[in-house]
Amino acid sequence: MTKDTVLELPLFDLAKSEEARDLGIELAASPAARRLLLLDAQRVAIMLAMRNGEADADDVVKWYAEHDIDLTGKLGNAMGALFKGAGWEWTGKFTKSARVHAHANLLRVWRLRS
């Protein structure tokens, strides 16, 4: 999958909608579960950066989508902490998000500190 590929998800699916609702309720009631998912997403970001030399939020979201997990739906605003920490440095580059709901907003491109 390339950066230009837009992931197509079904717009209407009652079962998935109910599943997302139930998961949202569970995560809202459990900050610990959200923290564990964020830690896992950070691990995936590290794996992708090691493999590709750099990573951005779309890369991580795509990895989860390929495993049938809606990362942004489950993490919400916690996605902003994905590349926080001393292990990351900004490459100085931006890329436009290909996620439809993100409206092509600019994403920083990150690499692991050497």
Q: What is the pLDDT of residues 22-54, one digit of tens each?
A: 776 665 657 787 888 999 999 999 999 999 999
Strands, DSSP E only, in 1-114?
88-96, 106-112
**In terms of Cα–Cα distance, which of 1, 10, 2, 6 is closest to 102?**
6
Q: Which two tokens stand for residue 2?
A: 């390339």
pLDDT at 10: 65
Would you say 59 and 71 are in contact if contact means Cβ atoms under 8 Å apart?
no
List per-residue pLDDT tens for the chain, 114 residues long: 455 555 555 678 888 888 877 776 665 657 787 888 999 999 999 999 999 999 999 999 999 999 989 999 888 888 889 999 889 999 999 999 998 887 889 999 999 998
> Residue 17, Cβ neighbours under 10 Å: how many?
11
Whether 48 and 109 have beta carbons less than 8 Å apart is answered as no
